[in-house]
């Protein structure tokens, strides 16, 4: 089999399985694992697959269907819990933080252990998760038009309220990261999140490893303007190296 044919086969198998191991690829294509690793490194550098420890993952393309926050709760649970702990470690006692919508950020606020926090959010699920935290933080839920698919308040009322406040840190999730673009599915929801980021002294994006090289409808912020990106340690070195040209990346506490 020619190299080009082998790469095409690898792409087909990765796409069909979403994740496939080096061992399985080597066995199916009857080549050495070293050859497969080199092939995956080449495909990763060209942005065609996500290189993970022990194998590779397909890069999802925009499918036009936005999952609800209930559906997202059941996806990549371990990876979300991992980065939620990292993000929570960045909060300081006495901080006022803006927390955007997202299932990872629900986990983050539920696990916060700092003292005397003020948490501002326009996400009803995030507010509910923070309310269950036993530390009795000061909570501010920003109102506005309600978007059921994400459980988020947005629009002029939300924007005016968020714009009247200042935050020590902002924690915001994304649907995708492509080059310097931070992407989400809805224009108005993205605009509301951008206000929370803009009014913060420190801006932090919390994104699991599946968000890299993934596009969505609306670019709401630029990665160049972010202070730190929190993601999983399993992200391939090639992807980390590429995105570190835009901002600092944290993969551990």
Beta strands 55-58 and 19-21 are antiparallel
Average pLDDT over residues 122-143: 96
Do residues 203 and 177 touch, judged by C-beta distance below 8 A?
A: no
Secondary structure element (H or E) that encloses residue 160, with its range: helix 156-163
The pLDDT of residue 4 is above 80: yes
- CA proximity to 123, closest of 164, 55, 170: 170
* pTM of the entire predicted model: 0.78
Coil, strand, or helix at residue 71? helix
Question: What is the tens place of the pLDDT at every residue in 39-89?
Answer: 998 888 777 887 777 788 776 544 456 666 666 666 778 889 999 999 999
Interatomic CA distance for residues 11 and 2, integer angstroms: 14
* Calpha distance 123→234 (Å, rounded): 28
Average pLDDT, the chain: 91
Lowest average pLDDT, out of 38-52, 131-145, 195-209, goes to 38-52
Task: Report pLDDT for 66.
Answer: 64
The reported pLDDT for the residue numbered 25 is 94
Please compute the mean of the pLDDT values over residues 32-41 and round it to a whole number.
93
**C-alpha span between 33 and 55 (Å, rounded):** 10
Residue 87's pLDDT is 98
- Give the up-direction half-sphere exposure of residue 204: CA atoms within 13 A in the CB hemisphere: 24
User: What backbone phi and psi angles, to 5 degrees, belong to 133?
Assistant: -65, 130
């Amino acid at each position: 089999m020619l190299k080009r044919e082998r790469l095409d086969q690898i792409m087909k198998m990765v796409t069909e399985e979403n994740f496939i191991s080096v061992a399985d690829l080597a066995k199916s294509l009857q080549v050495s694992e070293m050859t497969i690793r080199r092939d995956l490194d080449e495909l990763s550098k060209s942005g065609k697959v996500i290189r993970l420890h022990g194998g590779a993952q397909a890069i999802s393309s925009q499918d036009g269907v936005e999952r609800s926050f209930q559906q997202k709760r059941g996806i990549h649970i371990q990876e979300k819990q991992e980065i939620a702990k990292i993000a929570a470690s960045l909060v300081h006692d006495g901080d006022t933080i803006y927390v955007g919508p997202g299932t990872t950020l629900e986990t983050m606020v539920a696990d916060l252990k700092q003292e005397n926090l003020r948490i501002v959010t326009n996400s009803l699920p995030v507010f509910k998760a923070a309310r269950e935290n036993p530390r009795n933080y000061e909570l501010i839920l920003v109102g506005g038009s309600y978007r059921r698919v994400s459980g988020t308040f947005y629009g002029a009322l939300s924007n005016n309220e968020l714009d009247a406040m200042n935050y020590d840190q902002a924690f915001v999730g994304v649907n995708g990261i492509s080059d310097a673009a931070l992407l989400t599915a809805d224009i108005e929801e993205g605009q509301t999140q951008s206000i929370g980021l803009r009014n913060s002294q420190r801006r932090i994006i919390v994104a699991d490893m599946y968000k890299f090289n993934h596009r969505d409808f609306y670019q709401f912020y630029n990665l160049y303007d972010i202070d730190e990106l929190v993601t999983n340690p399993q992200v391939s070195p090639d992807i980390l190296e590429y995105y570190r040209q835009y901002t600092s990346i944290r993969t551990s506490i």
